[in-house]
Amino acid sequence: MKVVILAGGLGTRLMEETEARPKPMVEIGGKPILWHIMKIYAHYGFNEFILCLGYKQSSIKEYFINYYLYNADITVDLKNNDVEVHLPTDETFKVTLIDTGLETNTAGRIKRIKKYVGEETFMLTYGDGVSNVNLTELLTFHRKSGKMATLTSVQMPGKFGNICIDANSEVKEFIEKPTGDGMWINGGFFVMEPGVFEFLEGDMDEVQFEKGPLVELAKTNNLAAYKHEGFWKCMDALRDRIELEKLWHSGNAEWKIWK
């Protein structure tokens, strides 16, 4: 089963990092967050990827073309113009890199990779979020739902602590940054049937997938939500990148489910 990753956005809320490289190439623990996402999928046996590229796409293409140079020891023999790779990685990634336009919105990017997906069920996610979601269970849930698309829903941690105050202004309970407020949000990690492309007809270049096709899928009873109560984190801003980096180096990176 193919995995489509949206990796073409401008990443404007992370400009401290994305002026020089696309957001999926921003590193966590010395590896692009894109690599972390692909490792999550590969852990469950999903090794074939289609990357929807746009902003600074050459950076991502160059990374995969020279993957062994970045991830293995090498000997370069300048006299004989020869390169020997030592201890090559055991990655089994098959990566298709597609130019989906510099300013194309998410719906347009997905539409442009239709021919690479074919008439098969496929997975879809964003190039800036990591999670320990069980992808096998997600796929099973999707198939049982009978829906055209399934998204993974998550709860965001609260930004502020909650306090309960009685009539005498005494604090009876304090909860530091509770998880969400009962609301579930779209965390990505989709499973989709090829029929989804019926909701992408016409000019989609300026259409956001979440504000167009997903809305219509829900209205027509074609969208299911798999509730994930485990770890999920989107690298939306610099503070998120710093938090993920700290988790990685502390050994508490819950999304690292591979060995």
Neighbours of 191 (CB within 10 A): 25
CATH number of 2-250: 3.90.550.10
Dump pLDDT digits (tens) for 99-158. 999 999 999 999 999 999 999 999 999 999 999 999 999 999 999 999 999 999 998 766
Nearest to 106 by CA among 86, 87, 128, 85: 128
The predicted structure's pLDDT at residue 99: 97
Question: How does DSSP assign 70-131, residue by residue?
Answer: HHSEEEEETTTTEEEEES------EEEEEE--SS--HHHHHHHTHHHH-SS-EEEEETTEEE
CA-atom Rg of the chain in angstroms:
20
* pLDDT tier at 43, thresholds 50, 70, 90: very high
Please report, to the nearest 10 degrees, the dihedral formed by the alpha carbons of residues 151, 152, 153, 155 taken in order: -150
For the ranges 7-16, 56-65, 140-149, 217-226, the lowest mean pLDDT is seen at 7-16
* pLDDT tier at 194, thresholds 50, 70, 90: very high
Return the SS3 of 108. helix
The predicted structure's pLDDT at residue 141: 96
- Which sequence spans correspond to the domains of the chain? 2-250
In terms of Cβ atoms closer than 10 Å to its own Cβ (0-12, 13-18, 19+), residue 121 is middle
Q: What angle do CA 232, 24, 30 make, to 5 degrees?
A: 85
The predicted structure's pLDDT at residue 68: 84
Which of 71-85, 167-181, 219-233 reaches the highest mean pLDDT?
A: 219-233
